[in-house]
Structure 1
Amino acid sequence: MLIGLLTAVAASACYGTGSVLQAVGSRKSARREAAAASTTGLTQHGGPSLSSTAKAAVTWEFLVGTVLDFIGFGLGALAARLLPLFLSQTVISANLVITAVLSIKLLGIRLNAREWVSIGVVCTALVLLATAAGPEGGGDASTATHWWLLVASVLVIGGGTLIVRLLGSRAAILAGLLSGLGFGALGVGVRVLNGIDPFHLPTLLADPALYAILVAGVGGMYLHTVALQIGSVNGATAALVVGETVVPGILGVLWLGDSSRPGFAWMAILGFVVAVAGAVAVAWFGEPEGGAEGTGTAPDDGSSAPVHAAGAAKATEDDTRAPDRAAAGS
């Protein structure tokens, strides 16, 4: 249990740091597109084009953040094998808190009292969860279930990407939810993956869950990048947290046999609900009104953009030119 918790915390730290760097890279790309008055950076619906997203992905900040994400993915995969999903996914989602704290040092952001309270709530909830968590379930599932996971991942990522592109600049919340569902499916896939223990390559390659992991991971990363480009809106981050924690947590209990310690079910449920609510609050209260209060900016050299405490970058409306944004950040 201790090794699993330490692994999940390390994964959370990697994801939190990577989120800041990816947000800065995404905003740098968006500002360049806006400064060049580019029409190729937007779809006809006002959302970022594939070429715009690709440009964001090759900034050095985004590349470093992506490397940290891959490290976080490996650590998170290990945590998902060692802990109940309702605990591992919740600890990993606490990267919002790590991002908020890192933003004070790296981005000059000053957190308000509500943000500090929200961070304290999340930390308290994680203590409750760690205290209540019992042994993880076996993770055994039928082959048909693995196929259903792959089908669901394709539908969520494929269909969701199409809808996000059609909605354009109004899709930040939906993109956040879909990316969270993708990361949640990834966690479930890692948990049920065959051919890992003991390692057997033919079994691994024949498991549909492996391809569900690839689809959900790559698709979730893409939709997360789109959400950062569209704008930092509190609804998007809240949706990401819910998708990444609630869905796999419930599946872990109902499907994989995850459980709490005897007599501690109430504490596990309380900790889970409070952790999700606290993470959403970090995102919600971290959204500055009017793009001023609560943000910090890097040196005025055009190389980066403001990032709010929830960990997603927020450029001003003149910089991003993204109308009708709803509120969120991861």
Structure 2
Amino acid sequence: MIIGLVTAVAASACYGTGSVLQAVGSRKSAQREAAKGASTAGTTQHGGPSLSSTAKAAVTWEFMVGTVLDFVGFALGALAARMLPLFLSQTVISANLVVTALLSIKMLGIRLNKREVMSIGVVCSALVLLATAAGHEGSGEAARSTHWWLLAITVVLMGGGWVAVHFLGSKAAILAGLLSGLGFGAIGVGVRILDGVDPFDLTTLLSDPAFYAIFIAGSVGMYLHTVALQIGSVNGATAALVVGETVLPGIIGVMWLGDASREGLAWMAVLGFLLAVAGAVAVAWFGEPDAHAATPSTAPEQEPTPSTVG
């Protein structure tokens, strides 16, 4: 349990730091394009970032380092998902929102208001409740049909997210964050039920639909998260990701994969889970938009409007 918690916390730190670095890279890329007079060249007709603008953001050194940290976080998170109940591992990993919010103060010039600080405190308190109440994790054994259902649902969600970002444009920030979170949540479920891991069997691994669900959810989820960071508040996008990454996997883990709380502490697990989600949503709700929160000293590099992303 302790090793699993440490692993989940490390994954959270990697994800949180990676999100902020990716946001810095996205904003620097947008500022460079704006300086060239390309105010709309990197946007779609609906106002969202084009694939080319997202690609340009992805080649900044900050974004690349952030992506490496995301991959490290993914590996640590996958390990934690096999060592802890999903409602605990996913919630601890989702606490990267706290890391994101705190690093945003220094790296993005964002000032946290009192309600954001209180909301972050709620998230931290909720994690303590969850860690105290968590019992054993389930076996991860699931019917083969569950693997196929996971793949099908992942394809629908990720494909729908891709289309929504294209047509909703600059209005899709929170939706993109939520769907990227659902994608990362699907990774947690997929890792738990994946065949061919223990003992390792490459043929079994490659024949498991859950393996391809993990690949699709990871790649498209990363793209949607990048878009959310480009067109919306870094804290708001991350908070939406937290909800998607936490709620559904936690429910699936309890109802179908055998995750459980300690005897007599189910109420504490439920309370901690609800407080964690509520606190994450509150950070997004009360958070100041990034463009208005930057300090004057950092404004030239960190205040592009959504219409200048590219």
Structure 2: 5+ residue runs without aligned partners?
none
Matching of residue 264 in structure 1 with residue 239 in structure 2: no
Structure 1 residue 31, shift from structure 2 partner: 2.0
Q: Do the aligned partners of 2:24 and 2:107 also contact (CA within 8 Å) in 1?
A: no
Distance 1:103 1:298, change over 3 A: farther
Distance 1:283 1:152, change over 3 A: same
Instruction: Give the corresponding residue for 1:45.
Output: 46
Instruction: Give the corresponding residue for 1:71.
Output: 72
Provide Cα deviations, 1:216-243, integer angstroms capped at 9, x if missing partner.
0000000011111112276644432211
Instruction: Give the corresponding residue for 1:114.
Output: 115
Q: CA RMSD in A?
A: 2.0
Stretch moving more, 222-231 or 263-272: 222-231
AA at the equivalent of 1:242: V
Provide Cα deviations, 1:147-196, integer angstroms capped at 9, x if missing partner.
11111111111122012201111111211111111111111111111111
Instruction: Give the corresponding residue for 1:7.
Output: 7
Instruction: Give the corresponding residue for 1:156.
Output: 157
Matching of residue 190 in structure 1 with residue 176 in structure 2: no
How far apart are the structure 1 equivalents of 2:228 and 2:107? 22
Instruction: Give the corresponding residue for 1:308.
Output: none
Instruction: Give the corresponding residue for 1:309.
Output: none
Provide Cα deviations, 1:260-285, integer angstroms capped at 9, x if missing partner.
01110000000000011112222332
Provide Cα deviations, 1:184-216, integer angstroms capped at 9, x if missing partner.
111111111111111111111111111100000
How far apart are the structure 1 equivalents of 2:27 and 2:107? 16
Stretch moving more, 143-152 or 207-216: 143-152
Structure 1 residue 88, shift from structure 2 partner: 0.4
Structure 1 residue 107, shift from structure 2 partner: 4.3
AA at the equivalent of 2:116: E
Q: Do the aligned partners of 1:41 and 1:52 also contact (CA within 8 Å) in 2?
A: yes
How far apart are the structure 1 equivalents of 2:6 and 2:93? 11
Structure 1 residue 33, shift from structure 2 partner: 2.5
Provide Cα deviations, 1:249-303, integer angstroms capped at 9, x if missing partner.
00111110111011100000000000111122223323248x434x447756x5x
How far apart are the structure 2 equivalents of 1:131 and 1:282? 24
Q: Do the aligned partners of 2:30 and 2:304 also contact (CA within 8 Å) in 1?
A: no
Instruction: Give the corresponding residue for 1:321.
Output: 307
How far apart are the structure 2 equivalents of 1:273 and 1:68? 28
How far apart are the structure 1 equivalents of 2:4 and 2:296? 36
Distance 1:214 1:195, change over 3 A: same
Whose RCO is larger (CA < 8 A, sep 6+)? 2
Fraction of identical pairs, as percent? 75
Distance 1:4 1:268, change over 3 A: same
Matches within 5 A, 1:125-164: 125-164=126-165
**Aligned residue pair count:** 308
Matches within 5 A, 1:280-319: 280-288=281-289, 291-293=291-293, 295-296=294-295, 299=298, 304-305=301-302, 315-317=303-305
How far apart are the structure 1 equivalents of 2:107 and 2:240? 26
Instruction: Give the corresponding residue for 2:101.
Output: 100
Distance 1:126 1:296, change over 3 A: farther
AA at the equivalent of 1:321: S
How far apart are the structure 1 equivalents of 2:111 and 2:234? 18
More helix by share: 2
Secondary structure (helix, strand or coil) at the match of 2:155 reads helix
Q: Do the aligned partners of 1:169 and 1:322 also contact (CA within 8 Å) in 2?
A: no
Stretch moving more, 140-149 or 98-107: 98-107
AA at the equivalent of 2:245: E
How far apart are the structure 1 equivalents of 2:47 and 2:126? 39
Secondary structure (helix, strand or coil) at the match of 1:321 reads helix
Structure 1 residue 118, shift from structure 2 partner: 1.5
Q: Do the aligned partners of 1:34 and 1:321 also contact (CA within 8 Å) in 2?
A: no
Structure 1: 5+ residue runs without aligned partners?
306-314, 324-330
